[in-house]
Structure 1
Amino acid sequence: MTLTRLTPAATCVALLTAALSTAASAQTLKIGLAAEPTAVDPHYHQTTPNEALLMHIFEPLVAMNADMQMQPALAASWQPLDDTTWEFKLDPAAKFSNGEPFTANDVIFTFCRILNNETAIGGGSTNVARRIIGIDAPDANTVHLKTASPYPVLPNELARIPMIWSGMAQFENLTYEPAKGCGVTSAWPTVTDFNTGNLVVGTGPYKLKSYVKGAGIALERNDAYWGKTPAPWSEVRMTAVPSAGPRLTGLLSGDFDLIENPAARDLKRITDSGFEYTTKPSVRIMFFQLDVGRAPSPFVKSPKGADDNPLQDARVRQALSMAIDRKAIVDRIMDGVATPANQYLPEGMFGSIVGAPALEYNPTRAKELLAEAGYPNGFELTLSSTNNRYINDAQVTQAVAQYLARIGVKTQVDTMTSSVYFPRRARQEFSAALGGWGSETGEASNFIQYWVTTRNPELGVGSSNYGSYSNPEVDKPYLEAIRTLDDARRSELLQDSVKLALEDMANIPLHFESGVWAFRKGLAYDGRADQRTVATAARPAE
């Protein structure tokens, strides 16, 4: 070790720098959210607001960085041992906020809890867990995850699974037998247990201080955080303000240091007022999911009678797509802070169609397709959407309704808060539902798996297929792709599946959102392609 003697002047500078650094790290960061997280339960419902909150408190085995590239998290390394077995070496330094070490038992418990979580309303975690048929732990810092068939994207998928502490339940010997309870002798934790804060023990850089629905969320720095980079803020306060106008007012008045999703039309006002903003292209596709599996459908009225559902005809679905001017929506509704979508993942990402043509805007041809399908005078349809979850979600829905009306589809709009909307959508109460999905694995299989593939709980696919769409021709290349270890072949298969899905158009792509954040002077913020707003990405400006 080499010691360096500082001069008195240098000592003063060093002390001043340390003091300023300490002051900065002691600050409270106040964030204005566009939508309120619905739970602190890491396995309750996979929405961006929930996941953004959770990544402050919990961590996965494998993480995705701001550009959707995999990086080590609780697992220091991983490798396939054979076609159906992945080995993960856990970081021996990892520990929970209560000081307990993170071990293989916590991995086993996490997956067991996911498959015994009766309070969950989203199936994302469940789909991943169902693919794992066995977990072995050769030692406390090693786990072997076994799948029924080759599953090359398992590490990608694990980035979506926050790990929880096994000590929140009672057991004598944990074994991965979810159907038999895994050896757990106490009750499984519920969403209420997490929301009250009783069981919120994670390995992340922050701890939950308070969570009050409708009031706000407070986090405090985990001073025992095991990671290399400590949390930059001593406290983080998050408040949901669904309307962009009041949210911006909160920033300008000093109530917030950082806000997400300011209206694009306000960006000039932000800079003119001495504030700053950053944008980040995202992988979030906005789309309408159509109810094609039922006749009748609850919000469709057909001239052919009560038992008819026009959405079951692919020509009708293509007509609805052709009626929409995506570029106009991006320019006029999204103020340019989006990109028209011509498939379900931005081109250039794994499994996306290379050189995909723009989806055609052709209202004349749309009317012809309706007539060919037997609806020359259209039909009645209600579009359902959130009004506080996505950027301009209600306005986008209104715009789409106007486009459909121009081809003779008598369209109504029903918007509601996300807390009402998502449970209703999960119960399949809509006929045409607005969706937003960020492909967190960074490849095309993610959207196809959840929203397009025929529902099959045993295979862990189709959990978000609320339109009950089913096409074996779309399923076949996808199901082969997820068992194919050769990357080039897997990409070809995924492209085939995407092409077929676009031809059938059960999910109508609209645009890819761009993440936008505005913040006060003296602050710097790095956006993320998954649109999550995280305190660890904010820091004092250099």
Structure 2
Amino acid sequence: MLSRRAFLHTAGAAGATAALLSSPVRAQPASRSLTVTTTGIIASPNPYAHSSSHLYSIWQQVYGSVCRFNFKEGRYEGVLTESWSNVEPTRWRFKLRTDLKRHDGGPGPTAKDVVHSWRRVMTDPASQQAFIFAEVDRVEAVDETTFDMVTKRPVAQLLSYLTDFFSVSSAELFEKHGAAADKLAPYGWGPYMLERFDVDQRVVVKRSPHWPGLPVNAPDVAVFQMMLEPEQRVTALLNNEVQIARVIPPQLVDRLKGAAGVRTVVAGAQEFMFLAMNSKHKPWDDVRVRRAAAHAVNRDLIIDKLLFGLADRMDGAVNKHQNCYAPARSALQYDPKKAKALLAEAGYPNGVDIDLYTAVGRYISDRQVAEAVAQMLGRVGFRVKLHTPEYANFTQEIRAGKLPMFYTGRAAKSDVVEALTQLFETGVTKRIGYSSKELDGHFDKLRSEFQPEAQCGLLHQASEHLAAEVPALFMWTHQVVQAMRSNVDWTPDAGGEVWLPDVRFG
């Protein structure tokens, strides 16, 4: 049996044989070799066995996704598709590109590949991505390069569900190798092809000779190196061991100021941070207790003192980098006296014991933020026990609905509806356990409304509901500091991930 540290090495040429090795070997240097740090776990070469933004980004560049969001132009654009349309209220038709070849020289993507990939997302025992298709009834091949997605009801936000998430893998290679295709033949149609997958360490990709228009000065080889510790990321950048160090916490930015050959860029983020209160667990089934917690947390103080001002406070479910932004009038503000009164009204005049969970090193200053929140909650009567589990365990427990209170983030798009329905709509996931017929009604209307102005009005109603009922306290979006060597030209966007074709070497 292979150890967890065993890794996959696949040769790039057609017909190459994959071999599983037992010790890490550095990628061969290339004329334009880029190493990027990632704070996410590198767990499995199965492209569907995760729900993590950094791996979604990697796999869409290897296998290719249906579409992605171009922040520079403010629109959705195809990766494997060239066009799409809503031909009926519940039927979306997609046309695949015909100018692509598979990395091993095989045929371009087909509707059969898309249907296969959808079925795998829905049936693979290891899949963690079924939520992507929560609104999809079926995927049908129309002809070799055309497929339909038929939704269970009208879903105006369908592209948001798919964008940057749904990667398409080869039906032919899966029929030949079964699930072992992920290791033996991980060939896709994206701009970069998989060279290695080192579990818990790194992913190595190299440019595909079959991707049209890939810039000459884009990376030849890219290494996504797992580095959970911020200090390690900064040191590696200063030593030129990595060329892009992502997510530099505010307290370490000074180490990079004035450093030779290094520059920093600050970019806003669509990913929102929140403090979840799972209403399936006491005392969070009582809205008064949830409101007490919201009133107890001084978000402005945390932003100012811990995050050095590098965050944008959220007052409601829509942040300033998303469509339909507007602060919710019902958003609860810092008021410790009111928090104490609400706790007493809820039957806890002498306080209440609670457990708070956070990851460590996954998000900017996550442990420090959770410690500050715990202290603030303690001042109004919550007796807090803080837990800091391993990130993989943390996320598994969240998905299973086992954590009563936790601090985390949720990647989002310009259209935030998909993210909100995953977290708060009845029965979609177990993460927060919240259920409201009124909120479900807002979401139903949002899905059926295709006019942007009317969509915004409905989204504001949903945001007001969430701000008042507080199944989660929306905290902020980070202003993310990304750092890079001066010979690398990369402009971060609000998505935060590195799309390699956009990177240039000077």
Taking structure 2 as the reference length, the TM-score comes to 0.88
When Rg is computed on C-alpha atoms for both structures, the one with the higher figure is 1
Aligned partner (choices 209, 214, 218) of residue 200 of structure 2? 214
Aligned counterparts of 1:73 and 1:207: Cα–Cα separation in 2: 14
Aligned partner (choices 236, 247, 255) of residue 250 of structure 1? 236
Count matched residues.
474
Aligned to 1:447: 419
Aligned to 1:90: 96
Aligned partner (choices 399, 404, 411) of residue 438 of structure 1? 411
Aligned partner (choices 105, 109, 128) of residue 132 of structure 2? 128
Residues 338 and 291 (structure 1), Cα distance of their counterparts in 2 relative to 1, 3 Å cut: same
Root-mean-square deviation over aligned CA pairs: 2.2
Aligned partner (choices 157, 162, 185) of residue 158 of structure 1? 162
* Contact 2:315 2:327 (C-alpha < 8 Å) held by counterparts: no
* Contact 1:108 1:135 (C-alpha < 8 Å) held by counterparts: yes
Deviation at 1:33, TM superposition (A): 2.2
Deviation at 1:530, TM superposition (A): 1.5
Aligned counterparts of 2:134 and 2:454: Cα–Cα separation in 1: 25
Aligned counterparts of 2:381 and 2:195: Cα–Cα separation in 1: 53
User: What are the superposed Cα offsets for residues 165-211 of structure 1, whole Å, 9 maximum, x if unpaired?
Assistant: 111233xxxxxxxxxxxxxxx8863xx763xx324221112111111
Deviation at 1:515, TM superposition (A): 2.6
Q: Unaligned stretches of 5+ in structure 2? A: 1-28
Aligned to 1:298: none
Deviation at 1:454, TM superposition (A): 0.8
Deviation at 1:500, TM superposition (A): 0.9
Which one is further off, 135-144 or 201-210?
A: 135-144
Aligned to 1:419: 392
For residue 43 of structure 1, give the secondary structure of its aligned residue in structure 2.
Answer: coil
Aligned counterparts of 2:189 and 2:259: Cα–Cα separation in 1: 39
Aligned counterparts of 1:516 and 1:200: Cα–Cα separation in 2: 33
* Contact 1:39 1:50 (C-alpha < 8 Å) held by counterparts: no
Deviation at 1:115, TM superposition (A): 1.2
User: What are the superposed Cα offsets for residues 209-265 of structure 1, whole Å, 9 maximum, x if unpaired?
Assistant: 111223322222212224554681121122222111121111111211111111212
* Contact 1:398 1:413 (C-alpha < 8 Å) held by counterparts: yes
Deviation at 1:98, TM superposition (A): 1.8
* Contact 2:47 2:59 (C-alpha < 8 Å) held by counterparts: yes
Deviation at 1:518, TM superposition (A): 0.6
Aligned counterparts of 1:126 and 1:256: Cα–Cα separation in 2: 34
Aligned to 1:280: 267
Query: Which residue identity is paired with 1:278?
Result: V
Q: How does 1:454-493 map to 2 (within 5 A)?
A: 454-455=426-427, 462-463=428-429, 465-493=430-458
Q: How does 1:280-359 map to 2 (within 5 A)?
A: 280-294=267-281, 309-347=282-320, 349-353=322-326, 356=329, 359=332
Deviation at 1:25, TM superposition (A): 8.0
Aligned to 2:120: 113
User: What are the superposed Cα offsets for residues 140-181 of structure 1, whole Å, 9 maximum, x if unpaired?
Assistant: 2222222232111222322121111111233xxxxxxxxxxx
Aligned partner (choices 353, 364, 368) of residue 341 of structure 2? 368
Deviation at 1:351, TM superposition (A): 4.3
Aligned to 1:182: none
Deviation at 1:480, TM superposition (A): 2.0
Residues 74 and 521 (structure 1), Cα distance of their counterparts in 2 relative to 1, 3 Å cut: same
Residues 134 and 428 (structure 1), Cα distance of their counterparts in 2 relative to 1, 3 Å cut: closer
Deviation at 1:494, TM superposition (A): 2.0
Which one is further off, 392-401 or 68-77?
A: 68-77
* Contact 1:150 1:485 (C-alpha < 8 Å) held by counterparts: no
Aligned counterparts of 2:442 and 2:201: Cα–Cα separation in 1: 47
Deviation at 1:527, TM superposition (A): 0.5
User: What are the superposed Cα offsets for residues 383-435 of structure 1, whole Å, 9 maximum, x if unpaired?
Assistant: 11110211111111111101101101111111123122112222333110222
Aligned to 1:50: 55
Aligned partner (choices 58, 61, 67) of residue 66 of structure 2? 61
For residue 115 of structure 1, give the secondary structure of its aligned residue in structure 2.
Answer: helix
Aligned partner (choices 362, 381, 388) of residue 389 of structure 1? 362
Query: Which residue identity is paired with 1:148?
Result: K
Aligned partner (choices 209, 213, 226) of residue 240 of structure 1? 226
Deviation at 1:450, TM superposition (A): 0.5
Which one is further off, 368-377 or 348-357?
A: 348-357
Query: Which residue identity is paired with 2:54?
Result: P
Aligned counterparts of 2:332 and 2:373: Cα–Cα separation in 1: 15
Aligned to 1:8: none
* Contact 2:328 2:467 (C-alpha < 8 Å) held by counterparts: no
Aligned partner (choices 520, 532, 535) of residue 485 of structure 2? 520
Residues 356 and 519 (structure 1), Cα distance of their counterparts in 2 relative to 1, 3 Å cut: farther
Query: Which residue identity is paired with 1:101?
Result: G
Query: Which residue identity is paired with 2:361?
Result: N
Deviation at 1:358, TM superposition (A): 6.0
Residue 496, structure 1, aligned to residue 461, structure 2 = yes
Residue 429, structure 1, aligned to residue 406, structure 2 = no
Residues 74 and 143 (structure 1), Cα distance of their counterparts in 2 relative to 1, 3 Å cut: same
For residue 448 of structure 2, give the secondary structure of its aligned residue in structure 1.
Answer: coil
Residues 147 and 102 (structure 1), Cα distance of their counterparts in 2 relative to 1, 3 Å cut: same
Aligned to 2:14: none
* Contact 1:289 1:433 (C-alpha < 8 Å) held by counterparts: yes
Aligned counterparts of 1:428 and 1:254: Cα–Cα separation in 2: 42
Residues 289 and 158 (structure 1), Cα distance of their counterparts in 2 relative to 1, 3 Å cut: same
Aligned counterparts of 1:347 and 1:253: Cα–Cα separation in 2: 36
Aligned to 1:19: none
Deviation at 1:371, TM superposition (A): 1.0
Aligned counterparts of 1:205 and 1:348: Cα–Cα separation in 2: 27
Query: Which residue identity is paired with 1:126?
Result: A
Query: Which residue identity is paired with 1:315?
Result: R
Deviation at 1:484, TM superposition (A): 2.2
Which one is further off, 509-518 or 37-46?
A: 37-46
Aligned counterparts of 1:272 and 1:33: Cα–Cα separation in 2: 24
Aligned counterparts of 1:165 and 1:227: Cα–Cα separation in 2: 23
* Contact 1:49 1:532 (C-alpha < 8 Å) held by counterparts: yes
For residue 143 of structure 1, give the secondary structure of its aligned residue in structure 2.
Answer: strand
Aligned counterparts of 1:351 and 1:454: Cα–Cα separation in 2: 23
* Contact 1:385 1:414 (C-alpha < 8 Å) held by counterparts: yes
Aligned to 2:86: 80
* Contact 2:67 2:78 (C-alpha < 8 Å) held by counterparts: yes
Residue 142, structure 1, aligned to residue 146, structure 2 = yes
Taking structure 1 as the reference length, the TM-score comes to 0.82
Query: Which residue identity is paired with 2:404?
Result: S
